């Protein structure tokens, strides 16, 4: 008995009907969506820079390519989602995924490990309302890798006891004091690319600040600050640094705020480190396979890691002691590597200083290239920052 028949078209047989235009367009659209989804997941993805947290390295309006190949493509945790969306659809802004199915993730081999000073895109860890692979994407510089000891003293970053090299575009806050209002300083701000993104025109605001006097509080590089020190219309340029032992005014830094952003520990609260953005640590980063002794001194530091990122059951904390199934956990071996991410705009960046370590399974890829840059404050003829096109990211 024949299992199948071969159709033969004779001279009088009708040829197969051609596809309709609708069918051709549908097939092409499906193919394009599938291809774009695979490319976006496995190789490169385009991102834009919406905030100044990485200035002066990356500017608001930069368009980037992020490589998934460097660190290895990671399989999706949430398979049920509309292709080419993230959290919501672009038209109606409705939820574009279902968390009914959550899968364990696997990272394919890459051709590079995560290194210090890499500019990295990752899923921000503190957004517990989303699955890990659908949390908001942040871009920061990896300043410390698993196993490192990190400390910040008077703005300067130290890794394993050695002063870390500062990125060329490193920014922080300075107060530029002037004797009186003048147009020269505003023109100089524009020429030196000093921008206040909270203002409609981007110009810094002149104000009278107690203890400083009349002037402008700006984010800029040390080189730009040195330029203003030489100008005759500037009285003084002051580097704003929070002294050691003085906590942040509005929000305690990690690990004093274990449930960021829902908890706020106010200055003067007992039992806290009272670190700040400029004087922070020392702090040791968890490393895969490393075993640590859990004490009252490091319980806050590692509790969130053990509870949320290591996928353990029965974890709680009581009286500064980490418990598993009600029994004290005396030692713990980490299941994955963790990283410390900071923005190059050190005083205007929400980063690991506030919400802690970034787990390796939250890392998306390495930022490699600026392919377009748009100045949001320029006129039409000067909108494109031509000098930034096709720059590699360092």
Q: What is the pLDDT of residues 72-131, one digit of tens each?
A: 999 999 999 999 999 999 899 999 999 999 999 999 999 999 999 999 999 999 998 999
Looking at the structure of the chain, the number of domains it has is 4
The answer to whether residue 7 is domain-embedded is no
The answer to whether residue 48 is domain-embedded is yes
> Quick one: 180 and 198 in the same domain?
yes
Q: Is 28 assigned a catalytic role?
A: no
In this structure, the strands spanning 338-342 and 137-144 are: antiparallel
* Mean pLDDT of all residues belonging to the chain: 91
> Quick one: 222 and 252 in the same domain?
no
Band the pLDDT of 29: cuts 50, 70, 90: confident
What is the rounded CA–CA span in Å between residue 155 and residue 164? 11
The answer to whether residue 155 is domain-embedded is no
Which residue among the candidates 140, 173, 277, 304 is catalytic per the annotation?
140
Q: Is 218 left (phi over 0), alpha (psi -120 to 50) or beta?
A: beta
Which residue among the candidates 53, 67, 96, 349 is catalytic per the annotation?
53
Q: Is 140 assigned a catalytic role?
A: yes
Q: Above pLDDT 90, what percent of the chain?
A: 76
> Quick one: 206 and 264 in the same domain?
no
The answer to whether residue 164 is domain-embedded is no
The answer to whether residue 4 is domain-embedded is no
What is the rounded CA–CA span in Å between residue 353 and residue 351? 5
The answer to whether residue 222 is domain-embedded is yes
> Quick one: 211 and 312 in the same domain?
no
CATH of the domain at 199: 3.30.70
Q: Supply the pLDDT for residue 274.
A: 80
What is the rounded CA–CA span in Å between residue 196 and residue 200? 9
User: Whole-structure pTM over 0.85, yes or no?
Assistant: yes
> Quick one: 260 and 327 in the same domain?
no
The answer to whether residue 285 is domain-embedded is no
What is the rounded CA–CA span in Å between residue 181 and residue 34? 58
Q: Supply the pLDDT for residue 130.
A: 95
> Quick one: 89 and 36 in the same domain?
yes
Q: Which domain holds residue 252?
A: 248-276
Task: Phi first, then psi: give them for residue 2, nearest 5 degrees.
Answer: -75, 135
The answer to whether residue 233 is domain-embedded is yes
Neighbouring CB atoms inside 10 A of 287's CB total 17
If DSSP codes are grouped into helix, strand and coil, which group holds residue 278? coil
């Amino acid at each position: 008995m024949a299992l199948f028949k071969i159709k033969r078209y004779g001279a009088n047989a009708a040829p197969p009907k051609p596809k309709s235009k609708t069918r051709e367009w549908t097939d092409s659209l499906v193919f394009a969506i599938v291809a774009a989804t695979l490319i976006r997941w496995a190789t490169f993805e385009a991102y834009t820079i919406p905030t100044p947290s990485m200035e002066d390295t990356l500017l608001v309006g930069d368009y980037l390519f992020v490589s998934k190949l460097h660190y290895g493509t990671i399989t999706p945790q949430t398979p049920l989602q509309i292709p080419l969306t993230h959290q919501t659809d672009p038209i109606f802004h409705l939820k574009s995924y279902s968390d009914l199915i959550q899968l364990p993730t696997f990272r394919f081999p890459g051709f590079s490990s995560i290194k210090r000073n890499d500019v990295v895109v990752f899923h921000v860890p503190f957004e517990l309302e989303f699955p890990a692979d659908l949390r908001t994407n942040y871009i920061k510089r990896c300043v410390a890798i698993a196993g490192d000891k990190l400390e910040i003293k008077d703005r300067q970053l130290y890794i394993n006891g050695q002063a870390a090299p500062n990125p060329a575009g490193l920014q922080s806050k300075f107060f530029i004091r002037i004797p009186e209002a003048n147009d020269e300083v505003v023109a100089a701000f524009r020429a030196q690319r000093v921008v206040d993104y909270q203002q409609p025109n981007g110009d810094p605001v002149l104000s009278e600040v107690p203890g400083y006097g009349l002037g402008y509080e700006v984010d800029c590089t040390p080189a730009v600050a040195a330029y203003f020190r030489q100008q005759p219309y500037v009285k003084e340029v002051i580097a704003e640094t929070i002294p050691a032992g003085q906590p942040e005014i509005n929000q305690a830094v990690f690990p004093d705020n274990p449930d960021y952003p829902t908890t706020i520990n106010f200055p003067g609260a007992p039992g806290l480190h009272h670190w700040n953005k400029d004087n922070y640590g020392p702090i040791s980063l968890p490393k895969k396979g490393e075993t640590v002794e859990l004490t009252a001194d490091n319980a806050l530091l590692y509790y969130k890691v053990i509870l949320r990122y290591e996928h353990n059951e029965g974890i709680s904390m009581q009286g500064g002691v980490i418990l598993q199934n009600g029994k004290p956990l005396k030692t713990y071996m980490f299941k994955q590597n963790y990283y410390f991410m900071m923005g190059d705009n050190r005083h205007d960046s929400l980063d690991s200083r506030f919400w802690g370590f970034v787990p390796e399974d939250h890392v998306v890829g390495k930022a490699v290239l600026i392919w377009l840059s748009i100045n949001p404050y320029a006129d039409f003829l000067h909108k494109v920052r031509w000098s930034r096109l096709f720059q590699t990211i360092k």
